[in-house]
Amino acid sequence: MSEIDALKPAADIGGPCQPLLTVEGLSKHFALNASLFGKASVVRAVDDVSFSVAKGEVLGIVGESGCGKSTTARLIIGLMPSDAGKILFDGEPVGPVLSLSELRQRVQMVFQDSYASLNPRLTIEDTIAFGPKVHGVAPPQARARAHDLLRKVGLDPALFADRYPHELSGGQRQRINIARALALAPRLVILDEAVSALDKSVEAQVLNLLIDLKEEFGLTYLFISHDLNVVRFISDRVIVMYLGEIVESGPVEALWTDARHPYTRALLAAMPSLDPDNRTQEAPISGDPPNPIDPPPGCRFHTRCAHAEAICSARAPRLMATGGERHLAACFMVDPGSGHSKAVAPKVKETVNG
Amino acid sequence: MSVLADDLIDLAATRKSRGYWGNVGRRLLRDPVSMICAAILLLIALAAVFAPYLGLADPYLGSMIRRLRPIGTAGYPLGTDELGRDMLTRLVHGGRLSLLIGLLPVVFAFFIGTTLGIIAGYLGGVVNQLIMRTVDVFYAFPSVLLAIAISGALGGGLLNSLLSLTIVFIPPIVRVAESVTTGVRSLDFVDAARASGAGALTIMRVHILGNVLGPIFVYATSLISVCMILAAGLSFLGLGTKPPEPEWGLMLNTLRTAIYVNPWVAALPGVMIFTVSICFNLLSDGMRSAMDVRN
């Protein structure tokens, strides 16, 4: 594999215990100046979000549309500047130590719209070889790498290298997008609704491909989706976002069996069941999320929460340990000292996954 | 990793891909109107280019006793002008200057305007404001007036009228290029290119240019006819070509006095301008629909 020598995955720095990606207090506020004299209103798309991704892990991010999932992804890869917060990649802060262009070799992204994320005027080969060429790989080597990656994502280079995006199916295009993301030998791949637009059989194939590639290249995934089944299938750990904030996070099984935040429970209850005896008769949460320009005071979910009490609109709950391993929730009901009538003490030594 | 659903498409995929421009060319070839217009334009252009070798009469040689002969006179198939010069010769020779003055400003404006428009559209912010507001200043004047004003200020002559027409056509092309670029810039593949660490110049060259060139090119083609008419107007006012050079606009001007004596001959240069401009317009319409992938 001498032709790929020019682009190797960045060397590991902190060892297996150091998170590959750490996000601290990440915020993005979009200013909307409605009129010349009116007060500029602000959309808090991402508000003080902190989390970390362990090496080799698949971290899922779920939430309704508009909750800030995609904005978080774009902030991490530097497609838009953040207003506040720090991003550390393998312990190195992005900006002072790790430059944006170095980060962009280590982190790559696969977008939802498989058609819009491919240049309609470039052949598949040129699309995949573009990144390596930008990073100084000679064109013949970049082409060889493109062919190699096409094989890796299950497409025959002889058939596909010279073709254009509009000649391919959605599943094939998304395989191209995955190959393009892998072309720079990244360590972290952000999959922003990467399989959401595919039909179910193709979605399953692409998910299996992602799992195979993760094993082969030792990748870490940040998997953003609104499809809870898919997230459960592929993720090790899940973050639930609501209106720009993290409301709950934890290992996927703990979240599914013992969700502590009412919003997470509502999301899980909203999943359609395949069992005809287990029909959902009514929507567990009604209405749309509140306007993010003017989010409700206190807990942002209290306007739709069945358990809301006075305290919920007075103060904002913080992410707290729930007792389960690495399981956090931002709800007064897990905080015994909060004064919420349904607050319970965290269960000590719960055997999750047991 | 066998892909069942995709395998069917794989079977169809064995034919060699033609590429985007190959498909556009194929669709254009199937459009009879575009092909007729292209043939007429090609004929006029070839006649103009090879005018000295076609064995026509001398375009400058007049004859005082054979002035304003009607169409169909023996030896003068399209009659003679007010100085007794052969109209057919002058119309063919006139095509050289008229086509040049109709095409060159648009070509120059296309290169300059596309560059500025892509830069403004891709970079946005202050650069966009700077370029687009400057362009707006030129928009304050009607294009005919602007061309006459610049030509008038620079003085007559072919070069100055080329320059003034170029300046007139830069702003509309910048506008179109900027709006198309703004649309393309928001697509995911531009974000993907940025995420792979490419600089602004590389992205504009590799990813933006190919996707915006089509619409801008179609628009610029439609400007050729406008440019020819404006150039004819400048010549008519005495700001462009100088007599005795054969040029359609100028010929229209000098034959104007003969409109009551021999209206059919006097109208001939106008017919040429009309034919060429309508052919360019129809051809650009044909290209617009040929480039529409949804067809």
Q: Return the percentage of chain B with pLDDT > 90, whole number.
A: 33
Partner A contacted by B11 (CB < 8 A) = no
Q: Return the percentage of chain B with pLDDT > 70, whole number.
A: 92
- How far apart CA A146 and CA A130 sit, in angstroms, is 9
Partner B contacted by A99 (CB < 8 A) = no
Best interface-test mutation with A: which of B18, B188, B190 has the largest number of A CBs within 10 A? B188
Q: Which of B48, B118, B126, B34 is nearest to B88 (CA)?
A: B48
- Closest CB from B14, B20, B196 relative to A159: B14
Best interface-test mutation with B: which of A119, A125, A192 has the largest number of B CBs within 10 A? A119
| A158, closest residue in chain B (CA to CA) | B14
Q: Which of B72, B57, B44 is nearest to B265 (CA)?
A: B72
Q: What are phi and psi of A247, to 5 degrees?
A: -100, -25
In a domain, A47, yes or no: yes
Choose the weakest-confidence range: A130-134, A190-194, A196-200, B125-129.
A196-200
What pLDDT score was predicted for residue B183? 92
Q: For all residues of chain B together, what is the average pLDDT?
A: 85
* Radius of gyration of the CA atoms of chain B, in A: 24
- How far apart CA A137 and CA A133 sit, in angstroms, is 5
* Contact residues on chain A for B195, CB-CB shorter than 8 A: 77-79, 104, 107-109
Flag if A122 and B4 touch (Cβ within 8 Å).
no
**Which CATH number does B37-59+83-290 carry?**
1.10.3720.10
In a domain, A349, yes or no: no
What pLDDT score was predicted for residue A64? 85
* Contact residues on chain B for A209, CB-CB shorter than 8 A: 1
According to DSSP, residue A288 is labeled: P
The pair of structure tokens assigned to A309 is 């009490």
Q: What are phi and psi of A19, to 5 degrees?
A: -60, 145
What pLDDT score was predicted for residue B18? 58
Flag if A108 and B189 touch (Cβ within 8 Å).
no
- How far apart CA A24 and CA A3 sit, in angstroms, is 38
In a domain, A354, yes or no: no
Shortest Cα distance, chain B CAs vs residue A63, angstroms: 21
* Contact residues on chain A for B196, CB-CB shorter than 8 A: 104, 108, 130-131, 134-135, 180, 183-184
- pLDDT category at B136 given cuts 50, 70, 90 is very high
The answer to whether the CB of A208 falls within 8 A of the CB of A176 is: no
Shortest Cα distance, chain B CAs vs residue A16, angstroms: 26
Q: What CATH number does residue A218 fall under?
A: 3.40.50.300
Flag if A105 and B14 touch (Cβ within 8 Å).
no
In a domain, A346, yes or no: no
* Mean predicted confidence (pLDDT) in B97-124: 94
For residue B17, pLDDT beyond 80: no
Whole domain around residue A211: which residue ranges? Answer: 16-112+123-235
Q: Beta strand pairing status for A107-110 and A188-192?
A: parallel
* Mean predicted confidence (pLDDT) in A156-171: 89
Shortest Cα distance, chain B CAs vs residue A354, angstroms: 34
The answer to whether the CB of B241 falls within 8 A of the CB of B97 is: yes
- pLDDT category at B259 given cuts 50, 70, 90 is confident
Flag if A184 and B211 touch (Cβ within 8 Å).
no
The answer to whether the CB of B208 falls within 8 A of the CB of B185 is: yes
* Mean predicted confidence (pLDDT) in A22-47: 80
Q: For all residues of chain A together, what is the average pLDDT?
A: 86
Q: Give the tens place of pLDDT for each residue, A168-192.
A: 999 999 999 999 999 999 999 999 9
Residues 6+ apart with CB under 8 A from B279: B37, B38, B40, B41
What pLDDT score was predicted for residue B13? 43
Partner A contacted by B6 (CB < 8 A) = yes
Flag if A160 and B13 touch (Cβ within 8 Å).
yes
Q: Give the tens place of pLDDT for each residue, A218-264.
A: 999 999 998 899 999 999 999 999 998 999 999 999 998 888 898 99
Number of domains chain A is built from: 1
Choose the weakest-confidence range: A57-61, A247-251, A323-327, B151-155.
A323-327
- pLDDT category at B37 given cuts 50, 70, 90 is very high
Q: Give the tens place of pLDDT for each residue, A113-148.
A: 988 999 988 889 999 999 999 988 999 999 999 999
What pLDDT score was predicted for residue A4? 46
Partner B contacted by A217 (CB < 8 A) = no
Shortest Cα distance, chain A CAs vs residue B198, angstroms: 6
Q: For A148-202, give the DSSP string.
A: HHHHHTT--HHHHTT--GGGS-HHHHHHHHHHHHHTT--SEEEEESTTTTS-HHH
With tokens 């006459």, the residue in question is B148
* Mean predicted confidence (pLDDT) in B49-61: 81
For residue B134, pLDDT beyond 90: yes
What pLDDT score was predicted for residue B84? 76
pLDDT higher at B250 or A349: B250
Q: Give the tens place of pLDDT for each residue, A280-315.
A: 655 566 667 777 777 888 888 888 888 888 888 888
Distance spanning both ends of chain A, measured CA to CA? 43
Shortest Cα distance, chain B CAs vs residue A15, angstroms: 26
CB within 8 Å of chain B, chain A residues 136-195: 154, 156, 159-160, 162-164, 166-169, 171-172, 177, 180, 183-184
Q: Give the tens place of pLDDT for each residue, B156-209.
A: 788 898 999 999 999 999 999 999 999 999 999 999 999 988 889 999 999 998
Q: Beta strand pairing status for A84-89 and A92-93?
A: antiparallel
- pTM of structure: 0.81
Flag if A135 and B191 touch (Cβ within 8 Å).
no
So where are chain B's domains?
Answer: 37-59+83-290
